[in-house]
Structure 1
Amino acid sequence: MEVDKNLKSPESNEELEKENHDYNTKDSQTEELLKKKEAELKEVDSQLLRLQADFVNYKKRTEKEKEGLISYGVETIACELLPILDNFERALESQDDKEDGFYKGIDMIKQQLFDTLKNNGLEEIDALNKPFDPNYHHAVVMEESQEHEEGTIIGVLQKGYMIKDKVIRPAMVIVCK
């Protein structure tokens, strides 16, 4: 009778159990390590998403601030140039000879200045024969008139201007009472 060499003695069964135990211990340690690494990965992924969102918000905020600064700069320059534009208009109104070359030159300069401001968002407030609106008009004089309804603007003493939706100078007007 031959003895099977593959059969092991009881001592080797204990060794097998010990190896199995060691293997199971290593396997559970690997699983714990894997779970720990997955948790770290999720945390890093979450941080990355928050960082990306913060960056997008930062980018939007800086763009808005940049537009605000540009708008503020245009508004500041426009406010400083409006009295010059008014003086050009007064000079033109006082001139009798409208065909004179000097008159035409001053008119061209005034128009060029106004066009430059208009290209940067300046708009004239249309006031004459419109209903009085305290958001856009500054009533200086109240006069009676048979031709107009009460509350209608019958004269403009100084033009008003706005940039986009913001009034930078209300129109000084005469209102019918």
Structure 2
Amino acid sequence: MIDEQKQQDSMNNEPNQDQQTESSESLEKETAAATPQETEVVAEQDSVPEVETQSVSEDDNSQQQSTDTTSTEELQAEIQNLKQKLEQEAQQRETVTAQAKRLAADFENFRRRSEAQKEEIKQNEKRETLTKILEIVDNFERARSQIKPETEGEKNIHKSYQGLYKQLVESLKSLGVSKMRPEGEPFDPYYHEAMMREPSNEYPEGTVIEELRAGYMIGDSVLRHAMVKVAAAPESSGEEENGESEKNNSEEELA
């Protein structure tokens, strides 16, 4: 019984093996037939990602280049703006510096002018004061020439005011005042003021013969002009015969 059953099983299994063999052969044929086309499709599918990858990389590169170009242009523009601002600030600094120099120069000129004006005012006041003092000196000199002390008391008085006169003269000298000595000098209108003209055979024409009022200098400038008598040309013999009328015209006053 057992053997019969095994035989039947083996008989039942044999057709199955044949079917399996046939199915495997059919699959191989189909596979062989389908392999070239499928290979092309697979190749195409494999090649597509490479093209896409390459195009994507090119786009990225172009975008990167455009980004780099844009950033470079922006940097150049910013640098140019900074240069312009620097030039403007430099010009403004030069302008402010020039204005400051001009103001300093103007202030220095104003200071010098103010000092010069103050000094001029000071000198004018000094000259006016000294001129008034010179009138006192004139009075002392007239008194000395006119008063002739005779008694002992008069001599003592004379000595006292002469001492005061000397003290006054010394004070004037300490202030830079000096007396002119015009006698015998050529007439100079810068220093002298001609009050009279007198014909003279002793002095050349235009020479100062006599000082009528003393003149004084302060430093190198005239404090007071000297009033003088100036020599004129000697008279002719015909004019001498006129006698008394010519004597009256021997001295002329000049403004």
Unmatched tracts of structure 1, length 5 or more:
1-7
Which of 157, 160, 164 is the aligned partner of 2:219?
A: 164
Q: Secondary structure at the match of 2:189?
A: coil
More helix by percentage:
2
State the secondary structure of the residue aligned to 2:89: helix
In structure 2, give the amino acid aligned to 1:131.
P
2:65 to 13, 30, 41: 13
Q: Is the 8 A contact 1:92 1:106 kept in 2?
A: no
Instruction: State the alpha-carbon separation in 2 of the partners of residues 10 and 176 from structure 1.
Output: 115
Equivalent residue number for residue 168 of structure 2 = 113
**Contact preservation (8 Å) 1:74, 1:120:** no
Aligned to 2:108: 56
Bigger Cα Rg: 2
Residues 9 and 146 of structure 1: CA distance in aligned 2, closer, same or farther (over 3 Å): closer
Match of 2:188 among 133, 147, 152: 133
Residue in structure 2 matched with residue 72 of structure 1 by the alignment: 124
* Distance of 2:126 and 2:76 partners within structure 1: 74
Displacement over 4 Å in runs of 4+ = none
Greater alpha carbon shift after TM alignment, 159-168 vs 80-89 = 159-168
Alpha-carbon spacing, 1:149–1:11, altered in 2? closer, same or farther (3 Å):
closer
After TM superposition, give the deviation of residue 12 of structure 1 in Å.
2.3
Q: Deviations over 1:25-71 (max 9, x none)?
A: 21111111111111111111211221222122122212211221111
**Residue identity matched to 1:173:** V
Greater mean alpha carbon deviation, residues 136-145 or residues 48-57: 136-145
- State the distance in 2 between where 1:153 and 1:91 align: 24
Quote the residue 2:179 is aligned against. 124
**TM-score, normalising length from structure 1?**
0.82
Task: Say whether 1:23 aligns with 2:75.
Answer: yes
Matched, 1:151 2:206: yes
What is the rounded CA distance, in whole Å, between the counterparts of 1:15 and 1:141 in structure 2? 108
When the two chains are superposed, the root-mean-square deviation of aligned CA atoms in Å is: 2.3
Q: CA deviation at 1:141?
A: 3.0
Structure 2 SS opposite 1:134 = coil
Instruction: Give 3-state SS (helix, strand or coil) of 1:149's partner.
Output: coil
Q: Which has the higher strand share?
A: 1
Which ranges in structure 2 are unaligned for 5 or more consecutive residues? 1-59, 233-255
Aligned to 1:85: 137
- Give, in angstroms, the shift of residue 156 of structure 1: 1.7
User: Deviations along 1:94-131, whole A, 9 cap, x unmatched?
Assistant: 33249933323212222222232333332322111222
Structure with more contact order per residue of length (Cα contacts < 8 Å, sep ≥ 6): 1
